Structure 1
């Protein structure tokens, strides 16, 4: 195994703190500024995570909380969005957080979230 390959393998095992310390030591030892390179690395990481988020095609609508004074309005929306009867909708709201819709399109998830939040529920999309 060549020296550069060995160094690369060791670099792969560093924690974020250790890598930061290494960069600082390299800058001090060789009198260089690694901030421009770091910015490129951060930018590439941000681009990669955006790409991963864009690849997600199905979403879950999770009802996190329903204030007691908004319960009736939220129950009406729950029943409108699903085929739940009144007693099932009431039961649904007693064990929150809970997924109301699973594996739906982003548009459907956003629409359900908007309607539920308008009625007073706290909702997240996962």
Structure 2
């Protein structure tokens, strides 16, 4: 037996039939198109535990506690990767020189190729302080840098 309402207009029934025949990817595309056309934004999903906790106490108290638990569960990141995303062509020579200094195993030609093949990871698994220094140095040279 179907739990579908009996008094459904033919247009709605036809749309429902069409939607049920869509693949998962097509359904995702449909949702995106409808959000765009109807000017809808994504609503944040709240875990059920947070909703239940928020009901008993003060308004939103459970949600804040759940958010703090999630943050506490995530270990603080101690190692970072510095990725060169884009370079400033005007400072290309200086950027190549800095890459060569940071990666002593590269000669001048390989350092040039490294810079020209951006986006590339310059250093992996370094401390936050060292990563921030590198980001500052390369940003001063007009590069776009990403910390991962």
TM range (shorter): 0.5 to 0.7
Query: Given the two structures, how large is their TM-score scaled by the length of structure 2?
Result: 0.55
Q: String of CA shifts for 1:48-96, please: whole Å, max 9, x gaps.
A: 3366262x11110000000211211211211122212211111112221
- Structure 1 stretches of 4+ with a deviation exceeding 4 A read 33-36
Paired positions, count: 100
Tell me whether 1:61 sits opposite 2:82 in the alignment.
yes
Work out which of the residue numbers 110, 117, 128 in structure 2 matches 1:106: 128
Secondary structure of 1:103 counterpart: strand
Output the CA distance in 2 between the equivalents of 1:96 and 1:50: 35
Tell me whether 1:125 sits opposite 2:147 in the alignment.
yes
Q: Tell me how far 1:124 sits from its aligned partner.
A: 1.1
* Structure 1: gaps (5+ residues): 1-14, 24-32
Q: Tell me how far 1:103 sits from its aligned partner.
A: 0.9
Corresponding residue for residue 113 of structure 2: 91
Q: Is the 8 A contact 2:84 2:120 kept in 1?
A: yes
Q: CA RMSD in A?
A: 3.0
Q: Is the 8 A contact 2:95 2:115 kept in 1?
A: no
Larger radius of gyration: 2
Counting helix residues as a fraction of each chain, which structure ranks higher?
1
Corresponding residue for residue 95 of structure 2: 74
Secondary structure of 1:117 counterpart: helix
Query: Given the two structures, how large is their TM-score scaled by the length of structure 1?
Result: 0.63
Work out which of the residue numbers 16, 30, 39 in structure 1 matches 2:45: 16
Bigger mean CA deviation after superposition, 38-47 or 59-68: 38-47
Distance 1:43 1:74, change over 3 A: farther
Distance 1:123 1:43, change over 3 A: farther
Ranked by relative contact order (alpha carbons within 8 Å, sequence separation 6 or more), the top structure is: 1
